[in-house]
Amino acid sequence: MALFTNQATLSYGNTVTNSNVAVGEILEVLSATKTAINATYGQNDTITYIISIINSGSSAFNNLTITDNLGSYEFGSGTLTPLDYTEGTLRYYVNGVLQASPTVTVTANALVINGINVPAGGNAILVYEVTTNAYAPLEADGEITNTAIVGGMGITPISVSETVTTGARPNLTITKSISPVPVAEGETVTYTFLIQNTGNTPLVATDDAVITDLFDPILTNLQVSFNGTPWSDGTEYNYNQATGFFETVPSNITVPAATYTQDPVSGIISITPGTSTLTITGTI
């Protein structure tokens, strides 16, 4: 509820007198909330937002506008926007019934939705998706605060915000290479497994990561190392020379977290993955 004041002035001859200050109150019957389905986010991640508008009054509110800042934040002398609206994902419901899509405009720093109607004693709900981009903070304590403003029809603008945080987790990829190519029968071949972590949290021993492989052709005279340190069969890995099946023992694969650098001019966040290397050499 909002208070307002008013005072009158009476002038006669050379005399001016003021009235008392009258205090009024506007009963705000329109309310709104904003909720993110996802509490956390990562690199190039999808976040679903829900904006709910409730009208507890006896008159409808029509042609409202919602302006969403897509998480924009100040950086240097400018503004960066870490979220991109995913075109075509907006769904608009009135009293639970799906409506035709309203007008959507995407500017440099905002998503603008026009033509929202909220019936008397009813509600309107908007659901839409955004994706994180190169301006989204990714470090362990990173967050995005997304604010939307509901306005129009002479109402007091309603501001609603939702904050999501970076997920504290590893994000791993693995690539495998072979050398030399080609290799003759009876010669030695080396398989190199490069594990990269673009997440803000290291992969640690208690994560119990395991690498398995089935070598075909079967390798003999196996030599295995992890980040340059020799490993032993039965301790850090198990190898079945009859079938060619290789498996690391849980708790031996670890990978450091990535590091993130934000360019001081462009604001783009670059990622340097944490890496670990498993090397397996054997005879074909």
Reported as a pLDDT band with limits 50, 70 and 90, residue 28 is low
Instruction: Give the global pTM.
Output: 0.81
Is-contact 92 124, C-beta < 8 A?
yes
Residue 157 has pLDDT above 60, yes or no: yes
Give DSSP secondary structure letters for 122-155.
-EEEEEEEEEE-TTS--STT-EEEEEEEEE-TTP
Domain range summary for the chain, segments of one domain joined by +: 29-166, 172-283
Residue 1's pLDDT band, with cuts at 50, 70 and 90, is: very low
Share of the chain above pLDDT 90, in %: 84
Q: Does position 4 have pLDDT exceeding 70, yes or no?
A: no
CATH number of 29-166, picked from 3.40.50.20, 3.40.1110.10, 2.40.30.10, 2.60.40.740? 2.60.40.740
Tokens coding 260: 């993130």
CB atoms within 10 A of CB 52: 16
CA atoms within 13 A on the CB side of 27: 6
In CATH, the number for domain 172-283 is 2.60.40
Positive or negative, the Cα torsion across 235, 212, 197, 171?
Answer: negative
Each residue's pLDDT tens digit, 31-86: 999 999 999 999 999 999 999 999 999 999 999 999 999 999 999 999 999 999 99
- The pLDDT value recorded for residue 15 is 85
Does residue 25 carry a pLDDT above 60? no
d(CA 190, CA 215): 12
Whether 29-166 shares its CATH topology with 172-283 is answered yes
- Separation CA 262–CA 268 (nearest Å): 6
pLDDT score at 86: 97
As a whole number of angstroms, the distance between CA 248 and CA 208 comes to: 10
d(CA 174, CA 192): 10
